[in-house]
Structure 1
Amino acid sequence: MLIGEFSRQTNLTIDTLRYYEEVGLLQPLRTAGNRRQYQTKDIAWVNFLKRLKQTGMSIQNMQYYAQLRYAGNQTIPERLLLLQEQETRLDTLMAETQASLDFLHQKMATYREMQKANLPEHYNPEV
């Protein structure tokens, strides 16, 4: 399929697809007239890239991952390591986010208790 159809199939703009090619994330085939020719398997690859982006993976690591992928299956150990490193980053982020949520929940519980106690208007909690 040509770039317009591929853009519709992946929900990425043509400019984004061209950028992905420019930075090495995509390597579409070319027709005899030098037009980009995408294959069905390229849709799965772009969807994977979109998921990597959602995990917060840096463009540099995505580029390295793409290089490894295009180099073949002998690079699976390196790709696995990249994914494990991203998993560690996400686990850390989740723990930090959970700690922040716990803090907010504790403060909200304090305020709810204060509301139930009908504290005087001039009462000022520490924060």
Structure 2
Amino acid sequence: MTYSIGEFANIVSVTTSTLRYYEKEGLLTPQRDENNLRKFTDSDIGWVKFLLHLKNSGMSMTELKQYTQWREIGDETLKERKELLEKRKQLVEEEMESLQKNLDVLNRKIEFYEDRLKGHKYEFVL
């Protein structure tokens, strides 16, 4: 099945301008019909959704382009792609740890305020 750029944008929850930008940057290569209109396929859905996960993990455009190039080359780049994903995974885990520490402090401060509102008096210590 094929999809127009508008249909495809709705399916993957991005704007048509985002899809055009990704194509311009080499992240997407949609098929073209006889009128030179973009036609996206079901396999494009999975690829774009994966790209969006990579982007949302903090991967830079340079890294996204590199990953895309390695993907196009094929299985001989599996090691490189795996290493790039492992690097990104480590950075995401570090960010999650930092966010968890911040969340813990926020929760403790909220508990402190709840105690104060109940009349308990003590100093908040980090």
**Class of the TM-score when normalised by the shorter of the 2 chains:** 0.7 to 0.9
Distance 2:28 2:107 in 1: 44
Distance 1:87 1:126, change over 3 A: closer
| Partner-residue secondary structure (3-state), 2:44 | helix
Distance 1:109 1:72, change over 3 A: same
RMSD: 2.2
CA shift for structure 1 position 62: 1.1
Query: Which 10-residue stretch deviates more, 15-24 or 99-108?
Result: 99-108
Q: Percent identity of the aligned residues?
A: 38
| Partner-residue secondary structure (3-state), 2:26 | coil
Distance 1:37 1:117, change over 3 A: closer
TM-score w.r.t. the length of structure 1 is 0.82
| Partner-residue secondary structure (3-state), 1:88 | helix
Paired residues in the alignment total: 123
Distance 1:20 1:118 in 2: 56
Distance 1:79 1:33 in 2: 35
TM-score w.r.t. the length of structure 2 is 0.82
| Partner-residue secondary structure (3-state), 2:99 | helix
Distance 1:118 1:110, change over 3 A: closer
Distance 1:111 1:103 in 2: 12
Q: Where in structure 2 are there 5+ consecutive unaligned residues?
A: none
> 1:98 — aligned with what?
100
Distance 1:62 1:82 in 2: 10
Q: Where in structure 1 are there 5+ consecutive unaligned residues?
A: none
Task: Output the amino acid matched with 2:6.
Answer: G
1:85 pairs with one of 75, 87, 92: 87
Distance 1:113 1:70, change over 3 A: same
CA shift for structure 1 position 101: 1.3
Task: Output the amino acid matched with 2:81.
Answer: R
Task: Output the amino acid matched with 2:51.
Answer: L
1:7 pairs with one of 6, 9, 15: 9
Q: Which has the larger radius of gyration?
A: 1
